[in-house]
A = this chain, B = another copy of it.
Amino acid sequence: MYAISLGDDGAELRPLEPWRAEEFLAHIDRGREYIGQFIALPDAVTDLESSRAYLRSYAEKAAADAGGIHGIWRDGELVGGVLLRTMDLGQGTAEAGCWLEPSAVGRGLVTRAARVLIDWAVRERGVHRVEWQVAAANQASIAVARRLGMRKDGVLRESYVYRGKRHDIEIWSVLAAEWRAAGQGS
């Protein structure tokens, strides 16, 4: 039922709930190759059952107040999303992430969506530090981190095996004070 406008082009952010499993699978199928360059999401969503299981795992995170997933719709079609892979309110930390199918690239959709989500985490939920983990070669995602005002905390050398290759993982972050000072999300 719910939706948040992401701007004048009609893009919207909506809860990505388990009953969307079929729509989510179709979206992942459209972007499987592109999305799967650096992240394992497409490997986790390969049929209707795994799609539902993936969304259900995030619904359970939300029920435990420990994360969440939201989709980006453009012209009535699900084209990508943003998520909180983890949220630890006792520690005041969260890790955000994103994905996008290729047809929707280049419009700033992910940055706009991540701004809404991070702003909610910082201002409504009191999160102190939002982290962004990204393969060092994933320039598009690193560009989003920069646009969100994040700084690079370090590089976890050879820490991630994906599709048989070992990757460096960069950790970027923004602190609540930095977020507010930059006027992000407002």
Residues of A within 8 A of B (CB): 1-4, 13-15, 17-19, 56, 59-60, 62-65, 89-93, 116-117, 120, 124-125, 128-129, 131, 151-161, 166, 171, 173, 175
- Per assembly, the copies of the chain total 6
Known: A153-B154, A157-B173. A18 touches B65 (CB 8 A): yes
Of the candidates B1, B128, B160, the one whose C-beta lies within 8 Å of that of A4 is B1
Q: Nearest chain B CB to A185's CB is how many angstroms away?
A: 11
Q: Nearest chain B CB to A64's CB is how many angstroms away?
A: 8
- Using CB atoms, name the residue of chain B closest to A19: B65
Known: A2-B4, A63-B56. A158 touches B175 (CB 8 A): yes
Interface centre among A15, A91, A152, A158, by most chain B C-beta atoms within 10 angstroms, is A158
Report whether A63 and B60 are in contact in the complex, using a CB–CB cutoff of 8 Å.
yes
Report whether A159 and B93 are in contact in the complex, using a CB–CB cutoff of 8 Å.
yes
Report whether A161 and B92 are in contact in the complex, using a CB–CB cutoff of 8 Å.
yes
Report whether A171 and B158 are in contact in the complex, using a CB–CB cutoff of 8 Å.
no
